Amino acid sequence: MGRLLGDPEVWDDSPSRPRVLVRGLVGLAAGLAAGGLVAFAVVPRPPAPPPEVAVPPPPAEGPRVRVEQQTLYNVSLSAGPLLVTRSGRLEQVKPDGTDRRVVAQNVRASAAVGPGRDGTLVVLDSGVIARVGRDGATTRLGPADFLADGLAGRDERLLACAEPGGSRRPDSGLLLSAAGGRSRPVKLGCPVAWASGAEVIAGAGGPWTAVKGIERDRAVQRGTSVLVGRPGGRLRVLLGARELRAAAGRRATVEAVALTPDGKLAAVAAGSPGRPWVVLVLRADGGRVARIPLATGHRPAWVGWSDRQGTVTLAVAAVDRRGDLATAPLASRQGGGYVLAWDAGTRTARVLAAGAPMVAADGFAWSSDGESVGISSPGGVLLVLQIDVVYTTAAPVTGTLVAWPREAVP
């Protein structure tokens, strides 16, 4: 074995000095790395969230009839406020949605007369005829046991037809005064009408027939003739039962009556469920002016005359009553319909509204200037302005249209 050079005494054979800090740092790094790797591999991940699908926000609702501001402005310019019932209140509001005011609380009016010159408004509320005071308070008119099914009037005078029941006959109508006082019986049944500018009243007369298929689960009493006369005076037959059946069918009864403002023309809607319905236009002497047949399966829901500077126009709202729609209340009737305007001067007609806006339509009225028709439905109020061209607009008004008077309720 060889020998190394040098002095073995100075040859350093001691072990190298351990570098503690380096070893510690290396150990720490190795530990961190190993721990991180183990944790990355072992620790469970949270579940992935559902995928994000880029879908644009859905529109809040389907298409609606547009609000045509110019048309709305034109309608609001000359017409008075709309009287609507909404949420159990009677309100008046301008066609453009402004100046909304509660006229009376807890009133569900189905018909209204007025306001008169003194501001008196009379409404038919669930069979009760009530006068609405300036403070919104209501006062019952007529006998306590009288339940009305129809109401017409002019100024402060009223004509109410009775809802048959018990001992009450269908033709036990009443003439009343909005100021109160005693009522006078009149042998007229529902429907009734009062010419807005003349002392002429009209209503249904006998013989009376029980008609099924108009209201659910019960037959309703309907007249088969139309009587006309002066308030308090003798009534005469405008359209007899035989003539009615000849013009409208064998089982025809009277569904609606309307008088022109001067009382010279009357419109009578007649027919029977399941058969074609017609609207007959008659002169005061009973002569027939026109016969307006309604579309198949459609029944009149409203007839009304307008007077626009001497031009009288009849509006007929016909609603689909086929099948299950026959007995459905207007406000829940899921069917179409149309409003036809018939000009008595030119004896021509045109359709003012039709289709989707007539679904569940429950209120109809002419404006006092005779230029516009309002139609209410759960979708809102539709206004149709007919001058030379027919303009249609939705109105920012909700509720059931009761009337469209000239003046606002004070």
Q: Is 247 in the site for another protein (CB under 8 A)?
A: no
- Residue by residue, DSSP assigns 126-179 as TTEEEEE-TTS-EEEES-TT--EEEEEEETTEEEEEE--BTTB-TT-EEEEETT
Selected binder of another protein within 342, 364, 366, 404 (CB under 8 A): 342
Cβ at position 81, least distance to another protein in Å: 24
**C-beta closer to another protein: residue 80 or 297:** 297
Whole-angstrom distance, CA of residue 149 vs CA of residue 214: 15
Selected binder of another protein within 25, 77, 210, 246 (CB under 8 A): 25
Selected binder of another protein within 168, 275, 291, 406 (CB under 8 A): 291
> Shortest CA distance to 159 belongs to which of 134, 131, 190, 126?
190
Selected binder of another protein within 11, 166, 218, 310 (CB under 8 A): 11
**C-beta closer to another protein: residue 354 or 408:** 354
Distance of CA 26 to the CA centre of its chain: 84
**C-beta closer to another protein: residue 359 or 408:** 359
Q: Is 390 in the site for another protein (CB under 8 A)?
A: yes
Selected binder of another protein within 229, 336, 399, 405 (CB under 8 A): 336
Virtual torsion, Cα 347, 350, 352, 354, nearest 10 deg: 130
Distance of CA 89 to the CA centre of its chain: 15
**C-beta closer to another protein: residue 42 or 144:** 42
Is 357 in contact with 375 (CB distance < 8 Å)? yes
Mark 139-178 with x for binding to another protein (rule: CB under 8 A) and - for no binding.
----------------------------------------
Whole-angstrom distance, CA of residue 219 vs CA of residue 200: 30
Cβ at position 117, least distance to another protein in Å: 37
Cβ at position 394, least distance to another protein in Å: 9
Main-chain dihedrals φ then ψ at residue 55, nearest 5 degrees = -110, 125
Count of residues near another protein by CB under 8 A: 88
Q: Is 331 in the site for another protein (CB under 8 A)?
A: no
Footprint of another protein on 27-46 (CB under 8 A): 27-40, 42-46
Alpha carbon distance, N-terminus to C-terminus of the chain? 135
Whole-angstrom distance, CA of residue 167 vs CA of residue 161: 15
Q: What one-character DSSP code corresponds to residue 296?
A: T
Q: Is 349 in the site for another protein (CB under 8 A)?
A: yes
Footprint of another protein on 51-80 (CB under 8 A): 51-56, 58-66
